[in-house]
Amino acid sequence: MTGVPADTFRTVIIAATPRSGSTMLGQMMASTGCLGKPDEYFEPGWAPALPPADRCRLVLDKGRSANGVVSMKLFPLHFDWLRQEVRLSDWFPDPVWVYLRRRDLLGQAISLAIAMQDRAWNSNDKAVGTALYSREGIEQALRQLAEPRWPIFFARHGIEPLDLVYEDIGDASDACRMIAQRLGVALRAMPAPPVLQRQRGAVNEAWRRRFIAEAGDPDDFDGRVPKARRRWRLWRGR
C-alpha cells in the first residue's frame, strides 16, 4: 500500500522556507481544531529512524484534526528528501497549497543566519551560544532563501496556492479563515493567540545595518563576498 483513499481526509500543505513564520501559522491552525496539526514531519533530522513512507503514515495520524483535515509544513529540503523514496501525490492527493513567504528577505536571511548558530529556532528555545555576525553567512542565507523553487513548482503544475505573507498574518483569524474557505470547512473556533513570539530584536537590527553598510554597493549587482577567515561548518551542504 503506497497511500490511502483520498476521500478519507483533506490535506493542507504549508509550502514555506525557514524563518518564514510557518511554526507560528501552524500553531494558530492547530488551535482551531479543524485545520489539521501542521509540523515539520519531513525534516530529515526529525525522528531519523523513520523512513519517508513511515513519516507519511505519521502525518496521517499526528497531523490530523478531528474533522479529517491533515496538515503539514514542507520546505524544499524536505521535498527533496521525501521524493527519494515516495511520491507525495500518492499519499496526499489534491492538497490545498498555502504558500507562506516573507516580504523582508534580508530580515529572513538574518534570522536564519542567527538561528543556524544559536539554535534558537523559536521564542521558546534557549540559545546554545552567542551568534557571531558573518557577512558570508547572511549572503549564503539570502541565496538559499531567494531560490524561487516554490513559485516554479506551482507554475509548472498550474497550482494557484493561497498566498500568505508573514508580515501580514498578525490577524490570525483572517489567515485561518482563508485556509478554511479553500478547504470548504467551517471554523469551529477562532485561532488562539500564538504562543510563540516574533524573535526580531536589537541584534537583528544591528546585523542589518552592518550588512547593508558592507554589502550595499550600488555598483555591484551580485554582492561579491570577500573570502572568510573561517567557514561555518553548519552552512556546508546547504
Cα maximum dimension of the chain: 57
What digits encode the pLDDT tens for the residues 29-68? 999 999 999 999 998 888 888 999 999 999 999 999 999 9
DSSP string, 14-72: EE--TTSSHHHHHHHHHHTTSS-----TT-TTSSTTS-HHHHHHHHHHHTB-TTSEEEE
Q: Are 191 and 112 in contact (CB under 8 A)?
A: no
- The structure's pTM equals 0.83
Q: Degrees (nearest 5) of the Cα angle 189, 190, 193?
A: 130
Mean pLDDT, to the nearest integer, of 4-29?
A: 85
Q: Which domains does the chain have, with CATH numbers?
A: 9-235 (3.40.50.300)
Helices (H), 119-230: 135-146, 149-157, 172-183, 202-215
